[in-house]
């Protein structure tokens, strides 16, 4: 990761690693990495980095990718690579492992986003960083289902449905204090066990899994359980931007993102 100093602001990590040769969006776009898939003519990664560079409070930016030469193939990034504002960071095999590597190298705080956040804007970044709850070790950005549906009723998003609310992730995170490492470690365990339901149940607690399946688990109960598992104080920021929850994971997302960008002009 880039070291702090010449570029004041929070150290930022953009996860741009390959998901393998079978990544559906990379195959769809005929590119090696989903991160460089053009969205309305501009590679997604470039859109994300330009939004970060235009945001108040962002310092040096590490781009986590297996092939750093791909960054130099994006002319808009070259001046920032040469100045040291942007630096390629080796991908560590998974998002959680890459975050753990960044925390080990740079310490905290670290702001994390993803290269497929093609609709990211400075307003989103600044709202998130400006509304972090007091006293938390880790915070994530979430958008409520009603916020997204009001703006884009036709979009099919993946919601986490709790007894009191439904939310969608916005791929914006801050690992704020050294205790945040426990959350990244838990994330790594989830990655490792995501295809093993029994292990996941043991990890999260069977009673919580049953309550979630029955629609009786509240969001506050989930946050409390995560605090117990990670020994970290966890918070979230309610994002008023529907577009913050629209990443490019499938062709329909690409079509929607391009339509939104054309409307923005």
pLDDT tens for 247-265 read 998 899 999 999 999 998 7
218 assigned to some structural domain: yes
Distance CA 60, CA 11 (A): 5
In total, how many domains does the chain have?
1
36 assigned to some structural domain: yes
**Tens-digit pLDDT profile for residues 182-220:** 999 999 988 887 666 666 667 778 777 788 888 888 999
- Average pLDDT score over the chain: 90
What integer pLDDT is reported at residue 6 of this predicted model? 62
- Joined together, the tokens standing for residue 157 give 């998003």
What integer pLDDT is reported at residue 192 of this predicted model? 80
Distance CA 174, CA 157 (A): 23
Name the phi and psi angles at 54, rounded to 5: -90, 0
For residue 62, count other CB atoms closer than 10 A to its CB: 25
Contact 11, 60 (CB under 8 A): yes
Write the DSSP string, 47-110: HHHHHHHTSTTEEEEEEE-S-THHHHTSGGGHHHHHHTSEEEE---SSHHHHHHHHHHHH-S-E
Q: For residue 195, give the CATH number of its domain.
A: 3.90.550.10
67 assigned to some structural domain: yes
40 assigned to some structural domain: yes
Which of these, 91, 111, 109, lies nearest to 101 by C-alpha position?
91
The whole model's pTM is what? 0.91
Name the phi and psi angles at 202, rounded to 5: -65, -35
Contact 11, 111 (CB under 8 A): yes
Q: Which residues 6+ apart lie within 8 Å of 207 measured at CB?
A: none
15 assigned to some structural domain: yes
For residue 47, count other CB atoms closer than 10 A to its CB: 23
23 assigned to some structural domain: yes
114 assigned to some structural domain: yes
Mean pLDDT across 164-175: 96
Quick one: pLDDT band at residue 62, thresholds 50, 70, 90? very high
What integer pLDDT is reported at residue 210 of this predicted model? 84
Model confidence at 87: pLDDT above 90: yes
Q: b vs e for 74-85, b when ≥16 Cβ sit within 10 Å of the residue's Cβ?
A: beebeebbeeeb
Distance CA 13, CA 114 (A): 8
**Tens-digit pLDDT profile for residues 22-37:** 787 888 888 888 999 9
Query: What domain range includes position 181?
Result: 10-264
1 assigned to some structural domain: no
């Amino acid at each position: 990761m880039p070291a702090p100093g010449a570029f004041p602001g929070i150290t930022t990590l953009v996860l741009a690693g390959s998901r393998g040769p079978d990544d559906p969006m990379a195959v769809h776009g005929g590119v090696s990495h989903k991160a460089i898939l053009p969205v309305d003519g501009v590679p997604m990664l470039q859109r994300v980095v330009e939004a970060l560079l235009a945001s108040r409070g962002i310092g040096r930016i590490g781009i986590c990718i297996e092939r750093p030469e791909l960054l130099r193939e994006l002319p808009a990034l070259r001046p920032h690579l040469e100045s040291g504002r942007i630096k390629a960071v080796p991908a560590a095999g998974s998002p959680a492992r890459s975050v753990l590597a960044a925390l080990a190298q740079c310490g905290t705080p670290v702001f994390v986003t993803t290269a497929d956040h093609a609709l990211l804007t400075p307003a989103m970044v600044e709202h998130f960083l400006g509304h972090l709850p007091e006293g938390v070790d880790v915070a994530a950005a979430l958008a409520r289902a009603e916020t997204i549906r009001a703006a884009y009723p036709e979009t099919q998003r993946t919601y986490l449905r709790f007894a009191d609310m439904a939310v969608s992730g916005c791929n914006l995170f801050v690992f704020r204090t050294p205790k945040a490492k426990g959350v990244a470690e838990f994330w790594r365990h989830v990655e490792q066990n995501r295809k093993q339901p029994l292990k996941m149940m043991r990890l999260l607690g069977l009673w919580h899994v049953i309550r979630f399946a029955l629609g009786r688990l509240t969001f506050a109960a989930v946050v409390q359980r995560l605090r117990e598992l990670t020994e970290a104080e966890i918070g979230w920021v309610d994002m008023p931007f529907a577009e913050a929850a629209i990443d490019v994971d499938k062709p329909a997302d690409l079509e929607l993102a391009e339509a939104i960008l054309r409307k923005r002009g």
